[in-house]
Amino acid sequence: MEKGAEYMKHQHPEADFDPSLHIIPLDPHSKTPVILGALDATLVAVTADGRISFFPVEGQTVFFGLQRAQTIPLITAIQDRIKQRFPKNKDIYGNKVSQYLAVGVMYGQPGSYAKFIFEIWGVCKPFKELEHLYSTLHSLGGTTVGDDHYTAVQKYLSSEPVSRWINELIRFLKEQLDWSNYVRQSLELQ
């Protein structure tokens, strides 16, 4: 049995496999997530009840001639998935997609066996709530978990009606994306 399939078998009982879903709002212009840092980067998301979640993501140093730059392969993967799923920014019915968000979950332990599983969702009519969620999470740059600003943001996201909206969006996306099966199949492909 492959390592990924063995891990999944021990970690996720078939009958009640219900992976968490983390909302990763994307910048409406650049279609990039909130990422703090460069080489030791952290992806910022929000999950059930408005809890802020952080995922370690790998950064890379690339050279363009004598110039050195930092890149984050996850950003490229997200943008490639948008192009793949929404060619010319249109959905499968030919409707113009005006806004995107990513959803994701990580399985395993960073540094050993870990896999970040994500998918993209596009909407035709922009949600101001998603733009606000992006800017709220983006405002965490330069703060420390537990400082006054972080505490204020966490309190806001977990307050009503914000947390209810987040929970409803998570329920909707889990259903529409068939999230449990999507994650299960992604883990089996390891």
Domains in the chain: how many in total?
1
Give pTM, 2 decimals: 0.85
Residue 5 falls within a domain, yes or no?
no
Residue 181 falls within a domain, yes or no?
yes
Q: What is the pLDDT of residue 14?
A: 61
Q: What angle do CA 188, 25, 155 make, to 5 degrees?
A: 110
Mean pLDDT of 88-111: 89
Residue 26 has pLDDT above 70, yes or no: yes
Q: Which of 182, 162, 179, 177 is nearest to 51 (CA)?
A: 162
Q: What is the pLDDT of residue 12?
A: 45
Tokens of 157: 């996201």
Mean pLDDT of 141-170: 92
Q: What's the whole-number average pLDDT of the chain? A: 86
